Amino acid sequence: MRKALILPTKYVQGEDELLNLGYFVSTFGSSALLIANPADVDRIRPQLDATAEKFGVSFIEGGFSGEVTRAETKRLQQVAKEQHTDCIIGLGGGKAIDASKVVAEGEKLIIVPTIAAQDAPTSHSAVLYHEDGSFDDYAYFKQSPSVVLVDTKVVAKAPTRFLVAGMGDALSTYFEARATHDSYSRVNASLPMGSREGLTPPASGTYAALAMAKLCWEHLQEDGLNAKIACDANLVTESLSKIVETNILLSGLGFESGGLAAAHAIHNGMTVLPGAHSYLHGEKVAFATLTQLVLEDAKTEEMNDVMDFMASVGLPLTLADLGVDHITYEEALEVAKIACIPEESIHSMPFPIVVEDVANALIVADRIGQAYKDRMRN
């Protein structure tokens, strides 16, 4: 059986790590194109100035528009060419990070997440959008980023909601990897060079990836609440550091090399629910994970463990928690139809997928979450 595992070349995490950014730029040359929201750059400008001076490098600010479109990434590639920059830096949240991946095309790329809200920083894939913000396409590159650098002081000063959303995204990692492992399904690690066109055969996940995914879930249970409390105080503790690593590294490697299944597909289906539009990716993925567990008839003890964790850190347990106060069966079917399109990851589940079963699981997960909340209040 063919298996695949893909990793960034180097992952570095610690307090004041931004002060070492210039060193990593210097391993490629003397300048870098910086792709970031201007507000994110302003927040860490003292660290950027200090590291540039210490290591004799310069940062060329690209003026990122905020959306990962084909036009914007081509413009940024032209800036890099005209300025003769030696590497690309993606700094900030998911959009800037994805834009930098597209601009770098898998070469000489440094990723600097300033929040731990999702698991994209380590991956070799990006999402492209149209000018109106609608989905365009996925892009895959020949390798993961050269360096992923995380300053835990910066993450601790970001709003706690981002860290909690990252835990929601990380929550799905083990359960989706387990399903993918049980079904011997293809993982994203097998998709770098033309494989979408069938030029290379698919590969399933490694035991190493499954082990990292399981560790991800263990860390969330052990340190999720304490990390949230530390972030509320804008302070770095060992619990916060462990959850930052969990949200970014373990979840990133777990989803890409361990596999996605129903949770992320159901999340994508939930885009048809207008009330949920203002909620973060990881917040919706957390509820979608609960739905996956209903779909696979998980044991009551496991369901309770998941809901105990979600409640402890404040993740949504019901659709109402996501701005959807009422859902009809027809609306649940619309969610399920999108989740079940042929190319979706839900088909990595180790049993046949039926649209009606997914709609049923969505409604029942909502009621189970509400029953849990009622029980906790009494």
Binding residues: 94-98, 119, 123, 129, 169, 264, 281
What is the rounded distance in angstroms from the CA atom of residue 248 to the CA atom of residue 113? 9
Residue of 124, 181, 219, 267 marked active site: 267
What is the rounded distance in angstroms from the CA atom of residue 74 to the CA atom of residue 77? 5
Residue of 86, 124, 281, 321 marked active site: 281
Pairing of strands 3-4, 31-35: unpaired
Residue of 124, 264, 321, 366 marked active site: 264
Q: Read out DSSP for 325-347?
A: ----HHHHHHHHHHHTSTTSGGG
End-to-end CA distance of the chain: 51
Catalytic-residue membership of 277:
no
58: β partners: 31
Binding positions for glycerol: 119, 169, 264, 281
Helix residue ranges per DSSP H, the chain: 21-26, 38-43, 45-55, 70-83, 94-104, 152-157, 160-183, 207-232, 238-245, 251-258, 262-269, 281-295, 300-313, 329-339, 355-377
Structure token digits, residue 49: 């100035």
DSSP designation for 195: G
Instruction: Count Cβ atoms below 10 Å from residue 30 Cβ, excluding itself.
Output: 15
DSSP SS3 for 2: coil
What is the rounded distance in angstroms from the CA atom of residue 313 to the CA atom of residue 127? 28
Binding positions for NAD(+): 94-98, 123, 129
Name the packing angle between helices 355-377 and 329-339 (round to 10°): 120
Residues annotated as catalytic (active site), given as ranges: 169, 264, 267, 281
